[in-house]
Each structure stands twice: as C-alpha cells, then as structure tokens.
Amino acid sequence: MPLDPSYLEYPHRSYGMDHDRYDWSMLADRKPVAWPGGKRLALWVNVALQYFPLNQQGRPFPPVGGMTTTYPDLRHYTLREYGNRVGIYRFLEAFDTYQVKPTFAVSARLAERYPYLLKRLVERGDEIISHGWHMDAPHYGGVDRDEESELVARSLDTLRNATGQAVAGWLSPSKSQSMNTPDLLVENGVRYMCDWINDDMPYNFRTSAGDIVSMPLSTELEDRFIMQANLHSESEYADQVQDAFDYLYAEAVEQGGRMLALSIHPWMLGQPHRIGRLEQVLEYITDHDGVWSASAGEICAAWQAAQ
C-alpha cells in the first residue's frame, strides 16, 4: 500500500511561512533596534513561579517539570514547592544585590494559594505575567475553543485580581499552544506572549483579534533545560549563560540592540548548591555598562517604539 497521493502534495510550498501568523524575515536583515539610553543588550530575567497539582492528569501530555511517579508523587510535588517557599527568596536577594529587574510568570493557582508571596512580589513593583492556570492545564492542539477561552479568561482574571496589575504578558504552561491560543490572548487583553522560541528578538505576530508581540523566551538557555534535561553541571550553566551574553553583546555592536532572555526556576536554580551560579552570572552581566535590565513589558514596549 503506497502512501496516499496527497503525501506528495505541498499546498503551502510558496514564499514565506507555511502559515499566516508572522512574516518571514532574517534577524540580521532587520532594522537595528536602539534600546533606551543607548544600551546594547536588554536583560530579561524571567522567573517561572509554577504550581504543579499533585493530582496531575497529564492530558494530552504531562507538564514539563511535572509529576512522574504513581500518585501521590510527594517527591516532585515538594521539590517544586521548594522553589516557591525557599528558592524564590534567594532569587529576590540576588536580584536586589545586582540590581536586576525581574519579571515573574505566575500560575493563577499559585497566586490564589500563596497570597504572602504574591503580596511580596506586588510590593516590589515588578512586572507579573500570566503563566496560565496551573502547569497541568495545558493549551494544546485539539482543545475545544470555548473551553480554552474560559481557561484563558479565568487565568488572567485571577491573576489580575490578585496583583492589581494589567497583566499584559503570557507564558503558556510548557510553552504549548493551540491554533487558537494567540487569538484568545489578544481577545483577553494580552499584548505579548513568550512561547515561540524561533528568534532572539521580539517580532510581530498576527491574530484574528489584532497583532500581538512574540517575545521569545529561550528554552535552550533555560536553567531547567541545561541542568535537568541535559544534566550539565552548575558551572557549565554559568559558562553557557556567559558565552551567550558575550556573543549577543558583541553582535549588538554590528546589528543593533539585542535581548538576552534568561528563563529561570526557583525550584531549580534556587537550590543551595546552584544559587551561587545565578549570582555569578548576574554579577558578570551587570558588570557591563551596555546592559539594560528591564521587565519583559518594558523590553516589548521599547522594541515596538523602535519599529
């Protein structure tokens, strides 16, 4: 039985992308971006504050970082809780020491469950973005549109009520989306999303409800990816972040402002034997004059202003 003849037909084989969400362009060809104050590199430190429910359903796939053993997986539940109880406070101290302005991506359920932590973040005045309902509530291809619409609205409403902030940014659990997710985000007042990791700079993304900015939050340079998925050492993590910084900082001289997106997790990098590596890389990066430490929303706005 040969394959169906349609397997050798290519309906989208034409100029540009095989979808209409964004225009095709190469980073090096784009108009250079000037950051505020003439800085070369925008530092976006994105802290994921995630809630992983113990009664994980894992449909249609388990969340990245979720439960793995038979119920009750106390081991992973509490390891993730560690980040929200202990690791995050080590992070806050490090940010203050090196005067880094973080952005917090928060599960709505976490905001409901831990008002002390939310109040602490709100009082700092840092930007809070939505990280969905919780880690086991994925947005995925095939989910009913109305069901997802309710999930997006509930996640945003809950976080907006808890923080008093507009909540203009979005990071999907496990960076997973359905075909409708970008449309629903714009319908619910989101200005930028962080799931599409196909660039090192923001770019414009079309939806049925108007444009949204795609702010790529690098996975390849993420603490969890390097140390948990790849099992690289703590010192290797620091080396890779510093190498990435050096590269982008140099590229910015020729091609205009660059963005370094550091995705970090207090349950990972907030452990006693790892926190020093966060401090090390923040010290290294902030020791350079051309660095602009800013929230994701500020970087997004500056990029839009430069277009």
Partner 1 sequence: MKEDPGLYDYWPYENRPKITWPDGARVAFWVAPNIEYYELDPAVNPHRAAWPRPVPDVNGYATRDYGNRVGHMRMMRVLDKYCVRGSISLSTALCDHHPEIIELCKERNWEFFSHGIYNTRYTYGMSEAQERAMIEDAVETIRKHTGQQCAGYLAPALTHSDITMDLFAEAGGIYTCDLFHDDQPTPVHVRSGKKFISVPYSLEMNDTIVYVVNKIEPRRYGEMIKANFDRLYAEGADNGVVMCIPLHGYQVSHPHRLKAFEEALEYITGHSDVWVTTGREIAEYYIENCYDDAVADIAAKGAA
Q: Which of 75, 144, 229, 283 binds partner 1 (CB under 8 A)?
A: 229
Q: By the 8 A CB rule, do 274 and 56 touch?
A: no
* Nearest distance in Å: CB 150, partner 1: 19
Angle at 248 between CA 299 and CA 304, to 5 degrees: 25
* Nearest distance in Å: CB 125, partner 1: 30
Q: Which of 179, 209, 284, 286 binds partner 1 (CB under 8 A)?
A: 179
Q: How many angstroms separate the CA atoms of 207 and 7, rounded?
A: 29
Distances in Å between the alpha carbon of 30 and those of 24, 33, 203, 251? 11, 9, 10, 13
* Nearest distance in Å: CB 201, partner 1: 9
Q: Of 221 and 299, which has the nearer Cβ to partner 1? A: 221
* Nearest distance in Å: CB 3, partner 1: 5
Q: How many angstroms separate the CA atoms of 147 and 151, rounded?
A: 6
Number of residues in contact with partner 1 under rule CB under 8 A: 62
* Nearest distance in Å: CB 50, partner 1: 17
Q: Which of 247, 253, 305, 307 binds partner 1 (CB under 8 A)?
A: 247
- Rg of the chain over CA atoms, in angstroms? 20
- State which of positions 37-96 bind partner 1 (CB under 8 A): 60-61
Q: How many angstroms separate the CA atoms of 212 and 299, rounded?
A: 14
* Nearest distance in Å: CB 233, partner 1: 8
Based on the shown chain and the rule CB under 8 A, indicate whether residue 27 belongs to the binding site for partner 1: yes
Q: Of 149 and 255, which has the nearer Cβ to partner 1? A: 255
Q: How many angstroms separate the CA atoms of 218 and 32, rounded?
A: 20
Distances in Å between the alpha carbon of 197 and those of 30, 35, 41, 201, 203? 18, 21, 18, 10, 11
Name the amino acid, one letter, at 14.
Answer: S
Which residues are at the interface with partner 1 (CB under 8 A)?
Answer: 1-4, 6-10, 12-19, 24-29, 60-61, 140-142, 174-179, 195-200, 216, 218-221, 229-233, 236, 239-241, 243-248, 251, 260
